[in-house]
Every structure is written in structure tokens, then in C-alpha cells.
């Protein structure tokens, strides 16, 4: 079966750095996505990793290790608006996208 | 205007009623998906379609059916709604090949 694990909740302080981890066991892996979802809104795309290593995009970076079935999303210089849920999702070679349960991040002043 | 539009945005219906949730997109994508989101369970795939003639079951298709009326339209039906189908439903589209998915604003469905 397919399994994706990430922490349920995290808290951090404005201006700090936070790392959200995701581990997965899937068959037919074809890439890992991170999405951001504010309460009551649609998920929006943040990043995509298909090869091992770090992808940086402004304040957000995402890392992938395929051999370990592990990814993380790194958020730097946290802002209050970064308070949201962060969804880890695995793309399968069947073109399906399977989501983890999401990590709710609360940023405090 | 949103690229992926869901109607209705909110709906309350009674147990046993038939209800249809509609999704339309202007992105020209072939692939369309229906997910439901429940607290603590994340987004779960109900059905997906790669083109008008292709419909596939997802993780939790029981109690649901879909129709792909055109490339731009993908509808989800609950033939006989039950309370545990109360959830937030999202439609999504993509070009495939593991490109990013674009989500509609969601339909909050309550079955009483």
C-alpha cells in the first residue's frame, strides 16, 4: 500500500526557520510535491522534487532522498502569513497524486 | 475568474438525497481529479479522469460516481448521500506527467 507520514502540528516564531519532515513508502514513485493550504482554501503548489537533493525557491526549500523515502520542506524568515497546513504528496507513475495528512504550522509573533 | 471552478461552494442536504457537485476548468488540462478532505485524514482521491473516455477509481470511490461530460467538465455524484460523506470536496486538474495540480476552491458538503 501507499503510506505518507508527516507531523500533525508544529509551532514556530516569526523570523525563525522551520523544517517539516515527510516520510513515504509507495510503489511507483515519480516525484514528491509540497502544497500550502490556508484554512478553508484550496491547496496551492509550492515545490516539486524528482531527483535527490535540495531545491530552493525564495524563502522555501525542499529536499528529497529517494533511497530513504524522505523529504523535508524548509521555511526561512517565517512570516505570520506562513501559518497554514503544508501537504506532502507523492506522484505515482500512474499519474495519481497521493497526499499525506498535512502539517498544521502556527507562526507566533 | 478562477481557472478551476466548483459549484456549489456550500451545500446542506438530507440523508438519502442525490446530489451532484460540478467542476469546470479553463486551463485546457486533460487530467481531472476529485478529492475529499476530512480533518486528520488529509486529501483522499475519489475518482480521476485522464480524458473524456477515461474514468478511474481512486482510494475511496464507494458511494460516489463521476461523469466527464467534456474536457472541461467533471462532475461528482452522490447517489444516496449519507452523513459520513460530510466533507470538503476538491476538484483538481493537471497536464499529467507529474506536473503540479491546480485545485478549485472546494465544496463544503454537509449531509444531515
C-alpha cell at B63: 458511494
Whole-number pLDDT of residue B99: 80
Beta-strand ranges (E) seen in chain A are 3-5, 9-13, 18-25, 29-37, 44-49, 53-57, 60-65, 70-75, 84-92, 97-99, 103-108
> What confidence tens digit (pLDDT) does each residue in A22-69 have?
999 988 888 999 999 999 899 999 999 999 999 999 999 999 999 999
Nearest alpha carbon to residue B75 among B7, B3, B2: B7
> What confidence tens digit (pLDDT) does each residue in A65-107 have?
999 999 999 999 999 999 999 999 999 887 788 999 999 999 9
Task: Name the one residue in this structure whose C-alpha cell is 488540462.
Answer: B29
Whether the Cβ atoms of residue A71 and residue A49 lie closer than 8 Å to each other = yes
Whether the Cβ atoms of residue A35 and residue A90 lie closer than 8 Å to each other = no
pLDDT block averages, 10 residues each, chain B of length 112: 90 97 96 93 93 92 96 96 97 85 96 97
What is d(CA B56, CA A26) in angstroms, rounded to the nearest whole number? 19
- Compute the nearest-CA separation of A40 from chain B (Å): 8
Whole-number pLDDT of residue B1: 61
C-alpha cell at A57: 525557491
- Cα B98 versus chain centre, distance: 19
Contact yes or no for A96 and B43 at CB 8 A: no
Nearest neighbour of B42 by CB, restricted to A30, A41, A102 = A102
What is d(CA A15, CA A36) in angstroms, rounded to the nearest whole number? 19
What is the Cα gyration radius of chain B?
Answer: 13
**Which of A38, A43, A62 would best serve as a mutation to test chain B binding (most B beta carbons within 10 A)?**
A43
Q: Cβ of A85: how many Cβ atoms within 10 Å?
A: 21
Q: Cβ of A104: how many Cβ atoms within 10 Å?
A: 16
Q: Give the mean pLDDT of A3-31.
A: 95
Amino acid at each position: 500500500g501507499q503510506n505518507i507520514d508527516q507531523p500533525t502540528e508544529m509551532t514556530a516564531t516569526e523570523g525563525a526557520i522551520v523544517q517539516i519532515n515527510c516520510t513515504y513508502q509507495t510503489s511507483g514513485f515519480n516525484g514528491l510535491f509540497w502544497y500550502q493550504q490556508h484554512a478553508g482554501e484550496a491547496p496551492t503548489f509550492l515545490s516539486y522534487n524528482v531527483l535527490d537533493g535540495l531545491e530552493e525557491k525564495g524563502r522555501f526549500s525542499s529536499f528529497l532522498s529517494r533511497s530513504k523515502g524522505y523529504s523535508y520542506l524548509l521555511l526561512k524568515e517565517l512570516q505570520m502569513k506562513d501559518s497554514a497546513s503544508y501537504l506532502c504528496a507523492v506522484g505515482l507513475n500512474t499519474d495519481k497524486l497521493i497526499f499525506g495528512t498535512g502539517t498544521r504550522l502556527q507562526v507566533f509573533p | 475568474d478562477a481557472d478551476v471552478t466548483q459549484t456549489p461552494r456550500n451545500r446542506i442536504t438530507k440523508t438519502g438525497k442525490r446530489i451532484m457537485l460540478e467542476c469546470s476548468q479553463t486551463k485546457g488540462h486533460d487530467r481531472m481529479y476529485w478529492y475529499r478532505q476530512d480533518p486528520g485524514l488529509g486529501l483522499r482521491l475519489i475518482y480521476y479522469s485522464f480524458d473524456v473516455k477515461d474514468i478511474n477509481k481512486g482510494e475511496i470511490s464507494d458511494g460516489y460516481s463521476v461523469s466527464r461530460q467534456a474536457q472541461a467538465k467533471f462532475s461528482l455524484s452522490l447517489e444516496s448521500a449519507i452523513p459520513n460523506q460530510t466533507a470538503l470536496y476538491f476538484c483538481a486538474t493537471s497536464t499529467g506527467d507529474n506536473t503540479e495540480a491546480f485545485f478549485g476552491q472546494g465544496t463544503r458538503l454537509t449531509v444531515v
